[in-house]
Chain A
Amino acid sequence: MEGSPQSFNRYAYGNNNPYSYVDPNGETPAHILKFAADVALNVAINYATTGQADVGGALVDSTLNIVNPLSSLQKANKLREIVGKSGVTNSGAKWNNGWRTADGKFASPNGPGTAGAAAEQKVWDAVKQKPGWSVIEGRVSVRNADGQLRVYDGAAVSPRGRTIGLEVKSGAATKTAAQRDFDSGVNTYNPAVGVGNSNGVNVGRSLEIRVP
C-alpha cells in the first residue's frame, strides 16, 4: 500500500466506513466479524422468542441490517431483556414483538395483566364513595350513532341519572386517536348506547381519569 495514493487514505482498512467498521490490528475485515456476530444474535433472539433456531431468517435479517451500525447493539439489549426475564413474566405476558398477553395485546411485564390495570380498582372505590353515585365495573361496550364500538373500563351513574363512560389511564398513558374521536362525539344529545352485555346503558358523557 505504501507509495500508492491510497496509502494517504486513513480509512481504507474499514472500506472507507470508519463509523461502521473498525480493524484495530489491521488484520481482519471487521465487518465480516460483525456480520457473523449479528447472525448469531438473530439466531439467539429467534430461539428465545419462538423456540426455533431459524438460521436462514437470521441471515436475511443480518444482511438487511448490515448498513445499520446500531442494530447489533439494539439486538444485544433485546436479547439480554428476553433472557433476563426468561421469556415469561409473572403476569403471564410473553415476549412477542413486545410484551404481550396470550391474546396478543400489549401488557406490562411486571405488573398486572395490563399496564395501569391496578389503578382501575382505586377509581371504582373512589367513585363509590361519592354519595349517590353508582359504578358499573367491568367492561362497558357501547356504540355511537355511526355504529362505532367503544369499550370503556367502566361506567358511573351520577345522582341525576347521567351515565358517564370511564377511561382510566395511569402514568403517561393517553387515549388513542380512535378513543378521542369517539369520546368527542358523545354528549347528552348524541349518547352512545350499550350493546351486548351492556345493553340498557346510555352513556351521555365520557371521562378520562388519570392515576399517577
Chain B
Amino acid sequence: MNDIKSAKANLLEMLDGPVDQALSKYNFKRRKVSLVYKRKLAESIQEIDFVTDFFPRYEQGAEAHIHPFFVWKIPSVSEEALRLVNGNKMLLANAPDILLKQPIEISAPKENHERWFTKSADDYSQIGVAICSFMEQWLVDLLESLQSIDDLLEAYESSDDRLLKQQHWYVYVTAAYMLKGEREKARSVMESHLGNPGLKKRYSAVYDNL
C-alpha cells in the first residue's frame, strides 16, 4: 500500500507541474489532491479524469498506467433523457449525468494512439509533458467542438468518429433533439440506431415518450 501511496504522490506531483500549467490555459481547474480537471461552460461541463492503474499486472515493471478520460456532461440533456426513460437510470448506464466518457486517445486517429506508463518517479515529468503534448494536438480540438447542445447534434449529424458511441449515447441525442423541438428527428435517431425489435423493447419507454 505504501508503494501505491508514493506512486499516487508522484502522479499528483506530475499534475501539479506541466499538466496544471497546460490545462489552466483552457480554464480547467483541479482540487489539490484530485485527479479530475473540470471546466464549466455555458451549457455543459467538461472533465478530464486522470484515471490511473497503479502497478498494472499487464505491463511488466510499470509503476503506473495513466490513461486519462474525457467526460462530457450537459445537465439539461441528462434531465430530458431521464424523462424519456421514465427515470430508469439503468438505460443510461446508471450514470445519467455523463453523456460521454471516453479515453482521450480516441480523439486521435488510431495510428496516433499512445500509451503512458511510468516505471519510476523520474518518468512522471516526461510522461506529463507527453500527455500534455497529445492533448494539445488532438484533444483540445474535440473540447472546443463539444460545448453545447448544438455541438452535440452537429457531432451526431457529421458522424464524428472521435466519439465513443455506446447505445445510450443515442438516447442523449434523442433528448437533445427533443429539447430543440425536433420530434421527428428524435424519432429518426431512435429508429436508426435503437430500432431493432430487441432494442425497441428495451428502450420502449423512450418510444412511448416521444
Contact = CB atoms under 8 A, between A and B. Distances in A.
A137 B67 contact: yes
Interface residues of A, number: 41
Interface residues of B, number: 40
Contact of B113 (A128, A132, A201): A128
Interface string A95-137: 0000001110101000111100110110000001100101011
Nearest to A161: B167
B94 A188 contact: no
A121 B166 CA distance: 23
B28 interface: no
Contact of A117 (B60, B164, B198): B60
B60 to A, nearest CB: 4
A18 interface: no
Give the dominant DSSP class at A's interface.
loop
B42 interface: no
Contacts of B60: 91, 111-113, 117-118
15 contacts: A101-B55, A112-B57, A113-B55, A113-B59, A117-B60, A138-B67, A161-B170, A162-B166, A188-B198, A188-B199, A199-B93, A200-B71, A200-B93, A200-B98, A202-B93
Interface of B: 3, 49, 51, 53, 55-61, 65, 67, 69, 71, 90, 93-95, 98, 100-103, 106, 110, 113, 115, 161, 164-170, 193, 198-199, 202
